[in-house]
Amino acid sequence: MFVFQSLLTFLLTTLVFYVIKFRWSRRRLYELAAKLPGDNGVPLLGILHKLAIAKREDYMDIVLSYIRNDTPITRVWLGPFLVVATKAPEVMHAVFNSPQCYDKPSIFYGSLFFTEGLIPLSGKTHERHRKIFNKAFTPKRLQELYGIIKDRAEVCVKKLEPRVNQEEFDVYYYIGACSLESFGAANLNFHDDLYGHEMLPYADAGFAIGMKRIQQPWLNNEFIFRNSKISKEFDYMMVLVQEYVSKVVNYNNQLTIETNGANKVDKVIDLLLDPKHDFTDQEILDEMIVFALTSFDSTAKTLSSGLLMLAMHQDIQQKLINEIDSICGTEKELTFDNDFLQRFTYLDLIVKETIRLFPAGPIVARETSDEIDICGYKIPKKTIMVMSIFAMQRDPKYWGDDAHLYRPERFENLENPQAYLPFTGGKRMCIGYRYAMIVMKTFLINFFRNYKIDTTLKYEDLKLEMSLVLTILNRYMISIKKR
């Protein structure tokens, strides 16, 4: 009994000692945090428990409920992590352009598994990778991809033909697969008409696991994760992904031998396999996963949301069809390039309005590497800055009383362009935004030259889910008719 009591006293004393030491080392954080407007939530947990048990479809509403209208920033606690949330453009611009806010918080981005890829990387390593891959997305480089992108769009539009005059279906499953295949063809030299459909369910499962680890941060601990139910699912998925990556790498290495290096033109895959960049096998794998995931789902969900909006807004759809017909006429062989796409001014408004209401990255985060003044607030070192692009791009303060409505014309004359950041800003903004715009516009032109669409879904009934990529839970249900 005495031994037990002594042991208990020792353990309790040690625990109290470490808690005091922990809190003392963070006294400056607590001092500054107390001065920020916000909500302490439950002691020790803050709002962690609410997010951990939230259903996926409620997660976004809970996060948004903590972002206030009366102050540009709001403080909350996620267990021991101080979070400062915002939907104010002035705060976001300051964060995106600040060297002290360059890094990503591992509590969110460490959950993504591919730790050696652009999205979760921090500091100098991120800067090095980014400098290399920027070369793959310059306007000059992209000019060479128009042909492949157009061919892939045509293949995708053809694949939809069996759906003509059939009942409503979820168009995402076509567009998601096509988007994966298009990225493979244009950036990895990998031409395969089937692998998109094969890989799509695993990509979906990967996103679900990533989201679970964000909601329940303890799953980022390797031991806990390995003993959880989702670990087996993850291992199975990774075997398939690795097989696919090996196939792409082997194919490209063989191509380089056969063409004596003449195939290399600074595509993503060329940069990855270039010996002078000295990427490790893990980096090659992780960057391939980052590029495949960031490119395919954001583009596919944006395109699918756009189609759903056009199916719901027949007048806007007709205006787009008129523009496409007036520029393309009955010409069969069109040349797609920058000048050609620039002529589609109404299409441009449609794409912009779609990404305003349905930003694929609805929330992004950064971690402060030092104490920093942002818009008059002193933010402590190691604060997680959470920015809701979604809330900002729907805020009536910047977009007027009809902010929630789909109205592409609003982009003809923007009063508050600073409140539009769908690809974010600064040195970490989306690397593929120009490429994404080309892919989406090329697809929509080809699609509406062939089809018109309808839906029974109602705009006001839509329910959104903040998975890693913003998703419409009612799904992207449309019916297709031949034009």
DSSP notation for 57-94:
HHHHHHHHHTS-SSSSEEEEEETTEEEEEE--HHHHHH
How does strand 451-454 pair with strand 470-472? unpaired
What are the structure tokens assigned to 339, written together? 């000048």
Nearer to ligand HEM, 32 or 421 (CB): 421
Backbone angles phi, psi at 78, to 5 degrees: -110, 90
Q: Is 294 in the site for ligand HEM (CB under 6 A)?
A: yes
Q: Using an 8 Å Cβ cutoff, are 365 and 386 in contact? A: yes
CA geometry: angle 96, 97, 100, nearest 5 deg: 90
Among 175, 271, 310, 360, binds ligand HEM (CB under 6 A): 360
Q: Is 436 in the site for ligand HEM (CB under 6 A)?
A: yes
Q: Using an 8 Å Cβ cutoff, are 448 and 321 in contact? A: yes
Among 47, 78, 118, 288, binds ligand HEM (CB under 6 A): 118
Q: Is 422 in the site for ligand HEM (CB under 6 A)?
A: yes
First to last CA, the chain: 86
Would you mind telling me the total number of residues written for the chain in this entry?
Answer: 483
Q: Could you tell me the smallest distance in angstroms from the CB atom of residue 422 to ligand HEM?
A: 5
Residue nearest to ligand HEM (CB): 432
Q: Could you tell me the smallest distance in angstroms from the CB atom of residue 165 to ligand HEM?
A: 30
In this chain, which stretch among 38-46, 77-85, 393-401, 425-433 interacts with ligand HEM, using CB under 6 A?
Answer: 425-433
Among 66, 279, 406, 423, binds ligand HEM (CB under 6 A): 423
Amino acid at 396: P
Q: Is 393 in the site for ligand HEM (CB under 6 A)?
A: no
- Taking alpha carbons only, the member of 99, 105, 71 closest to residue 87 is 71
Question: If binding means CB under 6 A, how many residues of this protein chain bind ligand HEM?
Answer: 25
Q: Is 291 in the site for ligand HEM (CB under 6 A)?
A: yes
Among 424, 442, 446, 471, binds ligand HEM (CB under 6 A): 424
Nearer to ligand HEM, 399 or 435 (CB): 435
CB atoms within 10 A of CB 367: 21
According to DSSP, residue 38 is labeled B
In this chain, which stretch among 138-146, 306-314, 359-367, 450-458 interacts with ligand HEM, using CB under 6 A?
Answer: 359-367
Q: Is 119 in the site for ligand HEM (CB under 6 A)?
A: yes
Residue 119 CA to residue 104 CA, distance in Å, equals: 8
Nearer to ligand HEM, 302 or 471 (CB): 302
How does strand 377-379 pair with strand 372-374? antiparallel
Among 7, 20, 429, 473, binds ligand HEM (CB under 6 A): 429
Residue 103 CA to residue 366 CA, distance in Å, equals: 6
Q: Is 388 in the site for ligand HEM (CB under 6 A)?
A: no
Helices 345-357 and 433-450, axial angle in degrees (round to 10): 120
Residues annotated within the binding site are: 430
The binding site for ligand HEM (CB under 6 A) comprises 118-119, 130, 290-291, 294-295, 298-299, 302, 355, 359-361, 364, 422-424, 428-432, 435-436
